[in-house]
Structure 1
Amino acid sequence: MENIKSDLLLPLGVSIIISLILGKIVIKILKKAHIGQSIREDGPKAHYSKAGTPTMGGIIFVFSTLITLAIFKGYSFENILIVLGMLGFGLVGFVDDFFKLVMKRSLGLTEMQKIIFQIIISFALIFLASQVSIKPIGTFIIPFINIELNLGVFAYPILAFIMIGTVNATNITDGLDGLATSVTIPVFIALTIIAINFNSNISLFSIIFTGALIGFLVYNSNPASVFMGDTGSMAIGGALVMACIIFNMSLYLIILGGVYVMETMSVIIQVISYKTRNKKRVFLMSPIHHHFELKGYKEQKIVTSFTILSTILSVITLLLFL
């Protein structure tokens, strides 16, 4: 326990401080550059007042993580892979944000362009992860029954699907002040505990990333001074899925990332219902956090409830996986 305190609590604290300092600097730069959030016209009316709030703030916790990792010499091969996942998918989000917010192109990257970039990044990262995963990369551990299934080379497209799905799910979850940030913190605390159990240096990355998110949350919580943008939400998804693939626990993302899954499924259900049931909707608006907004729940209550759910799911994952 003493080793854990000295090895992980200090990086956690340093990461929080660096994130807080960078937050002050980056928000000023974003304001000066007039890089502000545009609000969808069909979104909740309560969001109209958020128009112009600085976005692309994900660079705050991304750079905080990179700096703190360097300070504590945490660039092991495992952590480099997770960093590549964070930066690779974060870059796709950054380019999309840049085109929309800086170049003033309303669409940013097209959906096809995003998918193509994500597929290329996914297969490259999966190949690299195959060099360090705890078991062969084609091994899937099935939750609850704890049976191992080895699919060999057929695992690659499945893992690519999981990777792309996770990144886009975390992106969908970023819709309320502090929501994606708050939901993700218990997820990476769980990953820290899992990494400690495997005596993996990923514990250092996970605790540093947690600290960076905590520092960012100071500025991102309601009322938000900055949004993470696609830059941040996709970076979260990239880091999360890479860590899970290395631990051969990608199927556990259904539980660990249950809030992201719920958000994504609400969108899928809404689209299917609209197209097959004569434009009838299941939810007042999707993703589901907007449904609860339109039902009259305050943002803070929704974020708190989703964070509690994420914490419960993270604890369940720990009990099942360890």
Structure 2
Amino acid sequence: MLYWLSQYDDSPLRIFKYLTFRSAGAAAIAFLIVVIFAPAMIRFLKEFAVAPQRLAGFVSEEELCAIKGKTPAMGGILIIIAVFVSTILWARLDLMVTRLCLMVMLSFGLLGFWDDFRKIRRMKGPLGNDGVSGKLRLFAEMIIAIAAIFILYRAPDTRDSAPLLTIPFMKEALLYMPMWIAMIYGVFVLWGTGNGVNISDGMDGLATGAMIIAMMSYMLIAYLCGNVAYSEYLSTPYIKGCGEAAVFGAAVVGACMGFLWYNSKPAAMFMGDTGSLALGGSLGIMAIIVKQEMILPIIGGVFVMEAGSSLLQTLYYKATGGKRIFLMAPIHHHFQKKGWSETQIVTRFWIIGAVCAAVGLATLKIR
């Protein structure tokens, strides 16, 4: 919205046309929205808080009951609001890239909200249930992903780049995917990223910090791929309007930083599935838009570790009739069982995330 002020070329308002300025503004506004309104949101959510089930097995039932009502869930609502408002203010809304990022974030966030709400009903009384079933959630995520890819293929400003698939470490190695293959691929990317972030949200600040690192990486990639000179220098595909995804990514980073202020140990609120699915979907659609999906497992290495450990544990448990690879899955609980403190685990996972992001970004030049 503020971008249109840059039309006044003879005034200082022309600064609003610069992506770097608008990205910084988006991050700052999203951060301030979360920090300022978080106390009120925490008080509001405490009326609907659920017991932090992620602590089951580590503390007694009495402690769980004592904690219930003290640490509210569904704080992801505030993240979504902050990102939405900041993006509306600072990004160009006339480009499909901006609208698509918001659409995927809101859709995944709504799905997570539905899941959280059903869990809350289960905690409130006998008519509740355990949340959205895995099959139903997968189906909903498939619909969102298919719709997103279809829009990419049809929108005038994205249809030229939509079929592209870049391969890391190979210079100008571009493949052109038919729409149906791209839809299957997009479903896998969005589903994997959304659930990877969701599974990582098991310790105070873990998923939030890892998301900040991963999204900052894709924010930089979006800026580079949206610039003709930089994309040519790095041999990455130039994507028209891709730079606006950097503004959206900056808003996500700013909102996560603000949320981390209250989510660091001891957490004042949890993001819940509302936030983790919305953030995962946002990261996934960023990777799809900038056509760097194949380095997502590298940049999002922490999320891969978390989701992969849960999958391996489940498959091995079923195949061996009850044996386990890890003491407990996802893997951050394995280290907790081995005696690492929560602060140690979170900090070390952030370090791993930073190293993975550096390696992922390095692939842009190593071709």
Same fold, TM exceeding 0.5?
yes
Matches of 1:102 and 1:277 in 2, distance apart?
A: 36
In structure 2, what is the equivalent of residue 127 of structure 1? 150
Letter in 1 for 2:140: F
Contact 2:169 2:363 in 1 (8 A): yes
TM-score, with structure 1 as normaliser: 0.92
> Which of the numbers 131, 139, 142 marks the counterpart of 1:108?
131
- The 3 A distance-change label for structure 1 pair 121 and 42 is same
Secondary structure of the 1:255 match is: helix
Contact 1:192 1:202 in 2 (8 A): yes
Secondary structure of the 1:321 match is: coil
The answer to which of 99-108 and 200-209 deviates more is 99-108
Letter in 2 for 1:143: P
* Residues 1:317 and 2:360 aligned together: yes
Letter in 2 for 1:144: F
Matches of 1:63 and 1:191 in 2, distance apart?
A: 21
In structure 1, what is the equivalent of residue 236 of structure 2? none
TM-score, with structure 2 as normaliser: 0.82
In structure 2, what is the equivalent of residue 195 of structure 1? 222
Matches of 2:55 and 2:208 in 1, distance apart?
A: 24
| CA-CA distance at 1:129 after TM superposition | 2.2
| CA-CA distance at 1:45 after TM superposition | 2.5
Identity %: 34
Letter in 2 for 1:115: L
Letter in 1 for 2:150: F
**Structure 1 gap segments, 5+ residues each:** none
> Which of the numbers 67, 86, 90 marks the counterpart of 2:85?
67
Query: What CA RMSD, in Å, does the superposition of the two structures yield over aligned residues?
Result: 2.1
Matches of 2:26 and 2:57 in 1, distance apart?
A: 39
> Which of the numbers 46, 49, 58 marks the counterpart of 1:35?
49
Q: Deviations over 1:215-234 (max 9, x none)?
A: 00011111000000000000
Matches of 1:84 and 1:195 in 2, distance apart?
A: 18
- The 3 A distance-change label for structure 1 pair 129 and 25 is farther
- The 3 A distance-change label for structure 1 pair 225 and 40 is closer
- The 3 A distance-change label for structure 1 pair 34 and 72 is same
- The 3 A distance-change label for structure 1 pair 290 and 196 is same
Matches of 1:260 and 1:133 in 2, distance apart?
A: 28
| CA-CA distance at 1:34 after TM superposition | 3.2
Larger radius of gyration: 2
Contact 1:57 1:232 in 2 (8 A): yes
- The 3 A distance-change label for structure 1 pair 245 and 40 is closer
The answer to which of 255-264 and 193-202 deviates more is 193-202
| CA-CA distance at 1:73 after TM superposition | 4.6
Q: Deviations over 1:209-249 (max 9, x none)?
A: 10010000011111000000000000011111111111111
- The 3 A distance-change label for structure 1 pair 106 and 57 is same
* Residues 1:149 and 2:164 aligned together: no
In structure 2, what is the equivalent of residue 180 of structure 1? 207
The answer to which of 47-56 and 87-96 deviates more is 47-56
- The 3 A distance-change label for structure 1 pair 241 and 219 is same
Q: Deviations over 1:28-51 (max 9, x none)?
A: 1001x2322342575323884654
Tell me the number of residue pairs that the alignment of Structure 1 and Structure 2 aligns: 320
Contact 1:172 1:264 in 2 (8 A): yes
Secondary structure of the 2:174 match is: strand
Letter in 2 for 1:173: S
